[in-house]
Amino acid sequence: MARIPSAMTRLADVDQPPASNPRPRFAWARFGNSPWPWLLPLAVVLVFVFLYPVIEIIRLSFTSATLINENTPYTTGSYATIWHSPDFISMLHVTLLFVIFSVVFQMALGFVIAQIVTIGQQRGLRGTVATRSAVLTAWAIPGVIIGIIWSLLYQESSSGILNYLIRPFTHHAIPFLSQPQVALISLTVANIWRGTAFSMILIYAGLQTLSAEVTEAAKVDGANAWQRLVRVTIPQLAPMLLLNLVLILIDTFNTFDMVLALTGGGPGRSTEVIALTIYDQIFQQLNLGIGAAYAVVLLTINLVMTVVYIRLVERSGQGRA
Amino acid sequence: MSQIWRQRLTDCAIYLAYAVIIIFFLFPVFWVFSLSLRTVPELYASPPIWFPLHPQFQNYTFVLHQTPIGGYLIHSLIIVTATIAVVLGIGIPAAYALSRFRFRLSRSVLTAILVCQMISPVVIVIPLYHFLSILNLLNNYAALILVYSALALPFSTWFLKGFLDAVPHELDESAQIDGCNRFQTLRRVVLPLAMPGITSAAILVAVLSWSQFVVPFILVDDSSIYPVTVGLVNLQSNSDGITLQYLAAGSMIAIIPVMIVFIFLQRFIVSGLTNGAVKG
């Protein structure tokens, strides 16, 4: 911001004749006066890396191509296959449980932590920044490494730390990653650990923008802390909580890296979320057509969520999208 | 008097909550750090020990010298640095156009960029694999960096636009009256003022690209350009528990650069996350 004064002094130079620029480069100047040249590089990259692949994946989903043989006639067979496959139902089941529980707990925990940190900050307590940083650490660690870290915590041998800590309460070792239902819970817990930071920081930012006066007024009117939270804070935050919800829904549906490193989708297919199914169909089973059909399912989820997001942004009246 | 006690009680409750939160979020990292400094018997001690009595720092030297992790770190560094350059090189002009030009399609362009942000990388990387393998561009730094950049560009463009919007338009106008064309205006007037935002964008791109996994996992099968994320997963699946302390040390090594960036530049990240996320 130190540059502001020097830029401001230019305002004083306005009186000088504009001819002070001796070499007007007309071609360049005119070229730069349309927005499109400025947007062209971005457009090229987005067309190549997003638009083309999306069209191609939709095309592939209507074939029965494999990675080895691609020249197959067009058919809706892939969709019929996955629709009738028991794997599709189980994948959907696993994905939905994973997404719903991740999202609910990430938002709830994020909200509680944001609230605690905000109160601590208002009271000027020490350790507020340290607490916020500890939560954000989880956000900065690459997803695959989070998977590896949690696989070490979940070790089922007698040297596994979580089993050691939990033993006094359960009296037997918990098969964190080897028993299907438990593995899905373990995976979801690790994902909650990973994703809470994002919700926390968004809600924290939202809480900073709330006017203290409204809360004060409620306090004067005799509302207790719980009433102030439910009747004053949450309604004020509602639009941003909804945006937060949609963003983490999209993100959780797309999760791939952490699951691959933590469970690899196993045991069996008990933790195989949709992104893993796509990978498995295409690169393990070489069913390009079927994998593409799964990918189109995920793409549809992405697009529906995006439409909801855009509607929400428009409704909140900030005209940002 | 009871009022004071209530205040103190609340403070205590908050400190207690701070402790619980910090333990919950830092314990996993602490545990991996502890594992990374052990000898093999300590690794399998039952009951587990909290921290090794004689930390084996040579585990780190071993990982850096005897495994390819050191090389993977350098690959990641190359990819991330180049990605930041490409993202800023493409994103800043686009953000400038979206911030300073009034044209009919600008809202549609912004929406299209937002839609790209929401598409799963898993979906787009499959056709890209196919396409790049035909062009013989798998295992190619340039192609990889292009895809990394593309994945970071939608949010970066939105994010940078937000910061350019905050630079007063009057400054542009006065610069133009002074005889600057748009390139000069951008370079001499707008960019210097938007520097904090550009720094935030660069840091966020760095953290997200360092974490990137799906793209290199599918587009790279040659270990001579593996980034550290893919390299570690391979180490994990090959080592089968025999070298857990090395896996832990490798994980720590991969986290440390992010942590350093994080500790020193946290204010940029926090402002970046809140700004960028709220806007899309």
**pLDDT tens by residue, chain B, 280 residues:** 578 888 888 889 999 999 999 999 999 999 999 988 888 778 777 778 888 888 888 888 888 888 888 889 999 999 999 999 999 999 999 999 998 888 888 888 888 998 998 899 999 999 999 889 889 888 989 999 999 999 999 989 988 888 888 888 888 888 888 888 888 888 888 888 888 889 888 988 998 899 999 999 999 988 888 999 998 888 887 765 457 888 889 899 999 888 888 777 777 777 666 654 444 3
Could you tell me how many residues make up chain B?
A: 280
| Cβ pair A7:B218 closer than 8 A | no
| Cβ pair B229:A142 closer than 8 A | yes
Is the Cβ of A111 closer than 8 Å to some Cβ of chain B? no
Amino acid B191 reads L
Amino acid A202 reads L
| Cβ pair A56:B44 closer than 8 A | no
| Residue B24 with chain A: CB contacts under 8 Å | 193
| Cβ pair B21:A295 closer than 8 A | no
Contact between A166 and B242 under an 8 Å Cβ cutoff? The reply is no
Distance from CA of B211 to the nearest CA of A (A): 4
| Cβ pair B258:A164 closer than 8 A | no
Tell me B37's DSSP state.
Answer: T
Is the Cβ of B30 closer than 8 Å to some Cβ of chain A? no
The CA distances from residue A182 to A101, A154, A269, in Å, are 14, 11, 13
User: Domain B67-279, what architecture?
Assistant: Orthogonal Bundle (1.10)
| Cβ pair B21:A35 closer than 8 A | no
| Beta-bridge partners for A63 | A74
| Cβ pair A158:B123 closer than 8 A | no
Instruction: Please state, in angstroms and rounded to a whole number, the distance separating the CA atoms of residues A280 and A321.
Output: 36
Is the Cβ of A47 closer than 8 Å to some Cβ of chain B? no
Is the Cβ of A273 closer than 8 Å to some Cβ of chain B? no
Question: pLDDT at position A28, please?
Answer: 59
Question: What's the fold here for domain A79-154+181-315?
Answer: MetI-like fold (1.10.3720)
In this complex, which of B89, B90, B114 lies closest to A321 when CB atoms are compared?
B114
Q: What is the pLDDT of residues B115-129, one digit of tens each?
A: 998 899 999 999 999
Which residues between 96 and 115 in chain B have a beta carbon less than 8 angstroms from any beta carbon of chain A? 96-98, 101, 103, 106-107, 109-115
Q: Which of B9, B25, B203 to mutate to test the interface with A (most CBs of A within 10 A)?
A: B25
The C-alpha torsion from B88 through B90 and B92 to B95, rounded to 10°, is -140
Crossing angle (nearest 10°) for helices B266-279 and B244-264 = 80
Instruction: Please state, in angstroms and rounded to a whole number, the distance separating the CA atoms of residues B71 and B223.
Output: 9
Is the Cβ of A136 closer than 8 Å to some Cβ of chain B? yes
| Residue A34 with chain B: CB contacts under 8 Å | 101
DSSP string computed for B121-173: HHHHHHHHHHHHHHTT-TT-HHHHHHHHHHHHHHHHHHHHHHHHHTS-HHHHH
In this complex, which of B89, B195, B251 lies closest to A149 when CB atoms are compared?
B251
| Cβ pair A32:B181 closer than 8 A | yes
Please choose, from the candidates A152, A130, A150, A131, the residue with its C-alpha nearest in 3D space to the C-alpha of residue A142: A150
Nearest CA in chain B to A301: B119
Which residues between 165 and 194 in chain B have a beta carbon less than 8 angstroms from any beta carbon of chain A? 170-171, 174-175, 177-183, 189, 192-193
Q: How is residue A282 written in tokens?
A: 């295409």
Alpha helix (H) ranges present in chain B?
Answer: 2-36, 40-43, 58-66, 69-100, 106-118, 121-134, 141-165, 169-177, 182-185, 191-193, 195-211, 214-219, 228-239, 244-264, 266-279
Give me the residues of chain A with pLDDT under 50, please.
1-22, 319-321
Distance from CA of B172 to the nearest CA of A (A): 10
Q: What is the pLDDT of residues B164-198, one digit of tens each?
A: 888 888 888 888 888 888 888 888 888 888 888 89
| Residue A282 with chain B: CB contacts under 8 Å | 126
Is the Cβ of A304 closer than 8 Å to some Cβ of chain B? no
Q: Which of A159, A299, A300 to mutate to test the interface with B (most CBs of B within 10 A)?
A: A159
Residues 6+ apart with CB under 8 A from B224: B71, B139
| Cβ pair A131:B101 closer than 8 A | no
Q: Where are the domains of chain A?
A: 79-154+181-315
Contact between A259 and A269 under an 8 Å Cβ cutoff? The reply is no
Is ipTM beyond 0.90? no
From the CB of residue B10, how many other CB atoms can be counted at a distance below 10 Å?
A: 15
Distance from CA of B248 to the nearest CA of A (A): 8
